[in-house]
Chain A
């Protein structure tokens, strides 16, 4: 399968009064056609900033200060605004936690969809209407509800509308940022099932950003775990959950309650999340790592390909290439 998007050494910084927040600090990443990557991280990991930067949507005072975002040979980090606008929605699409807050309360849902479609594609009124109807039924919204206004939809329905808008133009890549975080467990399950169905029927790649690693495991082919602005482990999902090589991965998985286990001992990672203005020198996880060595304090470990398709950013695996 060919690579759809490749990110090389991406750096996104926020320029604040108090200092420079290095939200994304040297991230290497790639995703193939039709693949789903779960981007997991806690608060301050940089995952949302990373997602936004792919479409150059990072708000000021944030800026992409280095690296490349390669999509079909174009570097999205550098290309003119005009060309990015052509991509947004059409080739790469993004959906957020509550899509309703970005909708015009005076426009009916089908009008929103029509507008989204017709901005990018030349269709007659009839053709567009037919597309809208298909979309609505695809996401499980009864077609007659297309005439409703945003405020008339419930939580789960709102997310469905969000999905409809996100896939309206058949993008190659859908980025979902904490898309189900505000939903109750049962609706979350329904929406996740819907997304799995749609990614197959549209052959869409997905970057699923979330703080919930259990949730991500239900939908992702690969897991990218972020900490303090860097990816510390990037591996196929099954292998990740079996091996979780990076000490942070292990710590994180040990702190997540698993409903299928009885008598689980829940642990936590000591210390506090890192200061992104003055991150620790060397390995960012060093202050909290149970297996840290002196070397970890001085040098920042590179991403090491431990085995095909499995990368870990940790000195422990320096010579363990299999």
Chain B
């Protein structure tokens, strides 16, 4: 009885495995990676790919998608396709810049704080907890208002929101790794603190970063979009998906759907890309969560 039920399911599974030889997680990660890379390529080669200048009026306003303007034109007569392609630049630039800053600062401080402990740790934990407990978007709004518009300033504002995430994660890992036997063994052979932190603790912490990173990036894209939607962060007429989404959404009532839909779609695609990549990497690195 058990044999029969078992061999049937075994055959079905091996059939599926023959067509899709890799684990679901690997497909997730792969699709995510493809989406992200496509957008990066779009950003890099924008001047070559885009049919028109994204900030000049090249046609009538609100023209329908056609052979001339594949995605139509927006409220100022600019080609939406070109704006989308150039919009990838700001999306990628700001996101990557923001993530890089928050990653380096967060991980570094987390390492130091967790290892040194004591008052140093108390102070930084307090600061990070304070920032972390602040509603992210509101903090971003306040910071962009203070810092002023621009790509770098926006990136910094977003970076601040996400730094505590890395700090807390790394600090937590460091606290537990500090007590582990191989760290004690490192001390026993005479390793200095600096060596322990960078050769023993850091390499064991870094494996947890990629998944947080991709999910963070997904969140950052949305935060940037929200900021632009609110008119903060990047100055017009910089092509930016969030901004265009806002600008276009006034026309939806008149059933003019193309100025807002396409930028919105791009935001979704990039966010999805990061999410799939993050989930995929998580599954691959932590197989025990599978069941």
Contacts and interface: CB of A to CB of B under 8 A. Distances in A.
Q: Do chains A and B touch in the complex (CB under 8 A)?
A: yes
B291 A66 contact: no
B287 A17 contact: yes
A64 interface: yes
B291 A60 contact: yes
B1 A78 contact: yes
B3 A66 contact: yes
Contacts of B6: 63, 65
B2 interface: yes
Q: Is the interface on chain B under 10, 10 to 19, 20 to 34, or 35 or more residues?
A: under 10
Interface residues of A, number: 9
B2 A77 contact: yes
Interface string A74-87: 00011000000000
Contacts of B2: 63-65, 77-78
Interface string B22-44: 00000000000000000000000
A232 B3 CA distance: 26
- By secondary structure, the B interface counts as helix
- By secondary structure, the A interface counts as loop
Interface string B114-143: 000000000000000000000000000000
Interface string B264-291: 0000000000000000000000010001
Contacts of A64: 2
Nearest to A64: B2
Nearest to B1: A78
Nearest to A60: B291
Nearest to A15: B10
Interface string B1-23: 11100100000000000000000
Interface of B: 1-3, 6, 287, 291
Interface of A: 17, 60-61, 63-66, 77-78
13 contacts: A17-B287, A60-B291, A61-B291, A63-B2, A63-B6, A64-B2, A65-B2, A65-B3, A65-B6, A66-B3, A77-B2, A78-B1, A78-B2
Given A63-B2, A65-B6, A77-B2, 10 more contacts: A17-B287, A60-B291, A61-B291, A63-B6, A64-B2, A65-B2, A65-B3, A66-B3, A78-B1, A78-B2
